[in-house]
Amino acid sequence: MIKVAASILAADFLNLGADIDRMRAAGVDYLHCDVMDGRFVPNISFGQGVIRAAGKSGVPLDVHLMIEEPDKYIDDFAALGAKIITVHYEAAKHLNRTLAHIRELGCLAGVSICPATPPEVLEWSMGDFDVALVMTVNPGFGGQKIIPSAVRKIAVLRDMIEKSGASAEIEVDGNVALNTAPEIVKNGASLLVTGSALFKAENAPAFVSQLKKLEP
């Protein structure tokens, strides 16, 4: 079953509450919250205050930490009600320990890899994460074109997970739209993060419904 996460980075922050209400009415499964520090990625987005406000919507929060030293902030975001907390393989110095701590806090543990990072780096972490987030654009800014080679990594990662006997969902973030999602799902993703395409859609409920109807 396909799940959809609305990336609030694409929202109108002057009308954030209204946009989040619109996403809830559209039937999204998560609000995807990209926390950026201006160091791990060039952009700076938002922090605990926005996450706290978004949590009042009742839509589960999918918090993606695009930051250096993520361990310093995991407890904060767990306390704010995050359902999923995802850290980057490239930023977590002790990945397995970090993932274990996220689970100890009662959250689903996610690990993300950038487009140039091979999926094989996660071989020895199989079973330690609940969600693997594949970035199909370089992290830091919305509205980028999809990187085809990054899409191919989804199938490799799905095969790795199945062969290991582990259970984990593959999430994809980066130019997920109605024309790109079918291939992404065909390669093995089941949680789709969509930003600009969803927020700009004339009929958001229909957009979400179409994504959820996709089959591998």
173 is catalytic: yes
| Predicted confidence (pLDDT) per residue in 50-90, tens digit | 999 999 999 999 999 999 999 999 999 999 999 999 999 99
Catalytic residue among 19, 29, 130, 173: 173
Residue 162 CB partners (closer than 8 Å, separation 6+): none
Catalytic residue among 19, 34, 37, 128: 34
Number of domains in the chain: 1
Residue 203 in 3-state DSSP? coil
Nearest Cα to 176, choosing from 210, 205, 202, 216?
A: 210
Q: Answer whether residue 26 shows pLDDT above 80.
A: yes
34 is catalytic: yes
User: What's the sign of the alpha-carbon dihedral 97, 141, 36, 63?
Assistant: negative
| Predicted confidence (pLDDT) per residue in 97-149, tens digit | 999 999 999 999 999 999 999 999 999 999 999 999 999 998 866 667 899 99
**What six digits make up the tokens of 198?**
């969803």
Q: Which residues pair with 195 in a beta bridge?
A: none
- Compute the average pLDDT of residues 163-188: 96
- Indicate the Cα dihedral angle 181, 208, 85, 158, nearest 10°: -30
Give me the domain span that covers residue 121. Answer: 3-212
CATH assignment of the domain containing 146? 3.20.20.70
Q: Which residues pair with 112 in a beta bridge?
A: 88, 133
**What six digits make up the tokens of 209?**
């419904």
